[in-house]
A and B are shown apart, each in its own frame.
Chain A
């Protein structure tokens, strides 16, 4: 049985739902969460929405993804990595796969990618392709990036050499 005093001390259920039994602790939790979210999404993860079909079937149009900005903190981008290549800033970027590394020559013959004249194994390319292109040499700070959907004409597909400082990070999903 509860006394009248107990009932007067107990906070209203709505207040408990909104700010908890200990408002100070709730405030600290909110502050920590806000700071954690700010640091995470400002410096570590970049949330993005993929638009377009150039990375199909790996990514579909409208899919939500995240880019890890710290992925290349300790090592340089690798072949096969799906990376985000910024334009003037991070608001809009290209999501592409690295197939050519600095100093390599990338060419296409009968729809297959060749690196320095050697056929590149690309299990992620699922659609038929007929691309033909002369070797393109990557500079010492350049990576050749291309989408996984090679079913579109070569000139309609955004691809090419991206400067290292334009690569924001690696796709997480």
Chain B
């Protein structure tokens, strides 16, 4: 009985240590997943959010990108648009945050691939977006490239992927 008790105790203690380890020292995959999840949360706003909240969100949104980041959007309704650098992204984000009444962004089926050296990452996901509190939504396959800069994972490239070419 004593042996069983000890074995159970050791197992539970080991699991707790492992859990604590993953909390204190998360893997790069977890950090990147968290970053993408935070990006979706930052890009989401409701009609109740005031101008100050939206301005703060724009500022936070820019913080996800590196200074030389590039966003390429190729959508049938919009055509091909490329935003280069934080300034262009800020302008476009500000237009989006003020021009829409509400926006809900979700990233589904997020897959993370960490590059050799664990300094770069590639993320593929499906973006599900609906704006102005409408029931209809748009879906778009997306790909992000991230780089670890000064200890933080920042998006260096974001692009739409054509599922049906």
Q: Is B124 among interface residues, defined by CB-CB distance under 8 A? A: yes
Q: Which bracket fits the contact residues of A?
A: 20 to 34
Interface residues of A in 129-173 (CB under 8 A from B): 142, 145, 155-156, 158-162, 166
What is the minimal beta-carbon distance from B128 to any residue of chain A, in angstroms?
Answer: 7
Query: Which of A5-13, A17-25, A82-90, A102-110 lies at the interface?
Result: A82-90
Count B-side interface residues using an 8 Å CB cutoff.
Answer: 18
Q: Does A59 contact B (CB under 8 A)?
A: no
Answer yes or no: B150 CB below 8 A from chain A CBs: no
Determine the distance from Cα of A145 to Cα of B111 in the docked complex, in whole angstroms: 25
Contact A88 B162 (CB under 8 A): no
Instruction: Tally A-B pairs: CB < 8 A.
Output: 51
CB distance from A93 to the nearest CB of B (A): 9
Q: Do residues A91 and B126 form an inter-chain contact, with CB atoms below 8 A? A: yes
Check B126 against A87 for contact (C-beta < 8 Å). yes
B164 touches A88 (CB 8 A): no
Complex contact B109–A87 (CB within 8 A): yes
Residues in chain B within 8 A of chain A (CB atoms): 76, 108-111, 124-126, 128, 139-142, 161-165
Top 4 nearest A-B pairs (CB, nearest first) are A89-B109, A160-B164, A87-B126, A88-B126
> Which A positions have Cβ atoms within 8 angstroms of B?
85-92, 94, 96, 142, 145, 155-156, 158-162, 166
